[in-house]
Homo-oligomer: A and B are copies of this chain.
């Protein structure tokens, strides 16, 4: 089903593709180390949900992100499902070599479009980061691995404020010209609003129609699903989301919560969009999170149930009706 018939004003793609980032973006900020076997079990459960991509882990220095120090074991331990792309975050050449050796389908490289955010987050200038990432691109020439570059703070930097559209598109162009297949526009700290999402995504798609564009949103100020919908209407097909709404950004104070995978799927399916995700199965996976992590998670459908899950009619209704009729 395409949406063009029902929504004359949207450029919605069909099917919409959901990419799970919880095992990386969510787990990386958990205080307690999640046992490798549990990480693998969760990813294996997610692999059966109809997600297009799963960001399984991050090949960063174990010193920088101890929560994901078991990246090799996780990527080697999961049971891969056909049709699911297993991507991993990679900050540099060393990480790329490890990720390639462990058999990643895709390397997700990351830099910030804000100089201040990049310096604080990656301890390099943007130009230094771009250079490092292009080294990784060169390394993978002739391999089968796919490449994606995530551009952080594409919708605003919490220290600098607005990031010019031209800056974001210029970095995207540089990586696409170097042979990168996908670009992710990241609202790293939840600053985007729906008008802005629509504008930047339309500009991106207009300029790079062949690129694999992903929208990565946070729900920091409650606009997560409104922003996702703006992306859908602008023609974005791929959406990062995090099971249970896990995640945040350790370098951005007050920024908490990626867009929640099950809440996003629930909304899009309720609206009639084609999303090949098994929501009950996804909810079952989300339900395992509080015990796994030792704390509640922000996902709302997990707590309230799906819109279509009706509540039983209370036994008292018969008596209430009889009294009303009396």
Give chain A's interface residues, CB within 8 Å of chain B. 6-7, 9, 116, 119-120, 123-125, 128, 156, 158-161, 190-196, 219-226, 228-229, 252-256, 260, 263, 266-267, 270-272, 299-301, 303-308, 310-314, 316-317, 320-321, 323-325
Contacts and interface: CB of A to CB of B under 8 A. Distances in A.
Contacts of A7: 195
Nearest to A245: B222
Contacts of A222: 219, 224-225, 260, 263, 267, 299-301
Contact of A193 (B271, B299, B311, B320): B271
A321 B120 CA distance: 9
B324 A128 contact: yes
B221 A267 contact: yes
Contacts of A299: 222
Q: DSSP majority for the A interface?
A: loop
Given A222-B267, A223-B263, 20 more contacts: A6-B195, A116-B313, A119-B324, A120-B317, A128-B324, A159-B312, A193-B271, A195-B270, A195-B271, A196-B270, A221-B267, A221-B304, A222-B260, A222-B301, A225-B226, A226-B226, A226-B229, A252-B311, A253-B311, A254-B304
A124 B220 contact: no
Contacts of A313: 116, 159
Contacts of A272: 195
B317 A271 contact: no
B120 A310 contact: no
Contacts of A195: 6-7, 270-272
Copies in the complex: 2
Nearest to A268: B193
Nearest to A305: B254
Nearest to A251: B314
A124 B120 CA distance: 62
Given A116-B313, A159-B313, A226-B226, A307 B125 contact: no
Nearest to A195: B271
A110 to B, nearest CB: 16
29 contacts: A116-B313, A116-B317, A119-B317, A120-B314, A120-B317, A123-B324, A125-B325, A128-B324, A161-B310, A190-B304, A190-B307, A193-B270, A194-B267, A195-B270, A196-B270, A196-B271, A220-B300, A221-B300, A221-B304, A222-B260, A226-B228, A226-B229, A252-B311, A253-B311, A254-B303, A254-B304, A254-B305, A255-B304, A256-B303
Nearest to A264: B222
A325 B119 CA distance: 11
Contacts of A263: 221-223
